[in-house]
Structure 1
Amino acid sequence: MMQHDAFSQWLGIQILDIKEGYSKINLILREEMLNGFGVIHGGICFSLADSAFAFACNNRNNLSMALDTSINFTKPTFPGDVLTAEAKELHNGRSTGLYLITVTNQRNEQVALFKGTCFRTGKPLI
């Protein structure tokens, strides 16, 4: 999946671990990710969490698409920070799945909490 994910590649995402219903990925924050207030744009953290969500809910070869997502930001992030997103499956249903993604920095401080619900299409990825 990652080899076809140009956006995750552009962000600089590295895959640390993937197994059924789980993924752990990270990235290093860069200067060009800053917003007008001198902190990293929230869309970067959201995108990292969303990619972890996608890798976790699609790794059973059942094409799954986001139905609903939400994020809470708990700490600001800055260039040079290393963010890690860990996605854990809370529910694996026939047609939906529920995931909780925790985003932490290099000091293991939680910087965001993301929740995602996916729809399982029943179509194979490969």
Structure 2
Amino acid sequence: MSKANDIVSQMMANDSFSQWLGVDVLEVREGYAQIKMTVREEMLNGHRVAHGGISFSLADSAFAFASNSHGQKAVSIETSINHIKPIFEGDELIATAEKESISKSLGQYIVRVTRGDELVGLFKGVVFRKQDNWLISD
């Protein structure tokens, strides 16, 4: 198992919210994470479309996995999302997070949330990179 996969496995084991979302990890490598989920009925708002917090939360989980995959613990300090298209019950969403830039103390990431080939959300996030490192199994 790679370092990045080991870190994400540790994170997912303690991440009750990503588990509730039904997140499946598709691919992880340093500075990159791709995850998916399917929108359920209890995730819909009064307009019968997915609550904006659902696509945001999926993107935020991918962001967390990608930004921690380097081995140094990272926590978000600023995030935003553009909701581009409505999302419906039964839609399978994929969030792909990629590092844009990284320094000793900050990292910037872009997360694209897609439904098939269609972009439905664009998330931007900045993390603070802490002095703590993840414990990696040999």
Pairwise TM-score range, normalised by the shorter structure: over 0.9
Residue 99 (structure 2) aligns with = 89
Give 1:125 deviation, angstroms: 2.4
Deviations 1:95-118 (A, max 9, x none): 00000000001x310000000000
TM-score (norm 1): 0.97
Task: Confirm or deny that 1:62 pairs with 2:64.
Answer: no
Give 1:68 deviation, angstroms: 0.4
How many corresponding residue pairs?
A: 125
Letter of the 2:23 partner, please give it: I
RMSD of aligned alpha carbons: 0.7
Q: How does 1:95-106 map to 2 (within 5 A)?
A: 95-105=105-115
Give 1:124 deviation, angstroms: 1.4
The CA distance in 2 between the partners of 1:25 and 1:13, in whole Å, is: 6
The CA distance in 2 between the partners of 1:54 and 1:122, in whole Å, is: 16
Residue 23 (structure 1) aligns with = 33
Residue 114 (structure 1) aligns with = 123
Give 1:61 deviation, angstroms: 1.8
The CA distance in 2 between the partners of 1:61 and 1:21, in whole Å, is: 10
Deviations 1:22-52 (A, max 9, x none): 0000000001101011101000000000000
Residue 15 (structure 2) aligns with = 5
Give structure 2 stretches of 5+ with no counterpart: 1-10
Q: Percent identity?
A: 50
Give 1:4 deviation, angstroms: 1.1
